[in-house]
């Protein structure tokens, strides 16, 4: 089988020597160090975004893995979002409610679904950082 080039894609110019000029004098160790530095530069913003951004679907997924049904998870996420605390993490919110009221996380979630503890949410995250 011969490799056929797509008609709309032209042949790429061979500029390897020109593109590698700034790397030519580096040792294997220096190249490896440069590789990992560039990798870190690329990945760091993704990690930071993952730490600081969430979505209702991500938070529902977390609650599903914590044992809540999809209907329960949807309602809890909506309540937590309405309270302005979705960025703290739905699981984290439930954990704080559970700890404050000496309940299991499941009990805390079910109580929240019954309308309990909503007035307590702001106080629980009054520390500004939302840390445990």
Q: What is the DSSP letter of 63?
A: H
Q: What is the DSSP letter of 117?
A: S
Whether the per-residue pLDDT at 131 is higher than 50: the answer is: no
Greatest extent of the chain over all pairs of C-alpha atoms, in Å: 70
Please tell me whether residue 9 adopts helix, strand or coil conformation: coil
What CATH number has the domain spanning 56-124?
1.10.8.1000
Contact in structure between 71 and 104 (CB atoms under 8 Å): no
Pick the range with the lowest mean pLDDT from 79-83, 86-90, 127-131: 127-131
Q: Kindly state the percentage of the chain with pLDDT values over 90.
A: 61
Q: Which residue has the higher pLDDT, 111 or 18?
A: 111
Q: Would you kindly state where each structural domain of the chain is located, as residue ranges?
A: 56-124
What mean pLDDT do residues 96-109 have? 97
pTM tops 0.75: no
96 Cβ contact partners less than 8 Å away, ≥ 6 residues apart: 124, 125, 132
Tens of pLDDT, residues 18-41: 888 888 899 999 999 999 999 999
Task: Identify the sign of the CA torsion 16, 21, 25, 27.
Answer: negative
């Amino acid at each position: 089988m011969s490799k056929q080039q797509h008609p709309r894609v032209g042949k790429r110019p061979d500029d390897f020597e020109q593109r590698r000029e700034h790397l030519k004098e580096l040792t294997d160790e220096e190249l490896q160090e440069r590789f990992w530095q560039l990798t870190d530069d690329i990945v760091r913003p993704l990690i930071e975004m993952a730490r600081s951004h969430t979505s209702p679907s991500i938070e529902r997924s977390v609650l599903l893995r914590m044992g809540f049904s999809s209907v329960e998870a949807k309602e809890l996420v909506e309540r937590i979002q309405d309270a302005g605390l979705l960025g703290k993490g739905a699981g984290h919110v439930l954990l704080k409610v559970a700890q404050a009221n000496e309940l299991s996380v499941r009990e805390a979630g079910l109580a929240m679904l019954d309308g309990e503890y909503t007035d307590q949410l702001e106080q629980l995250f009054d520390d500004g950082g939302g840390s445990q």
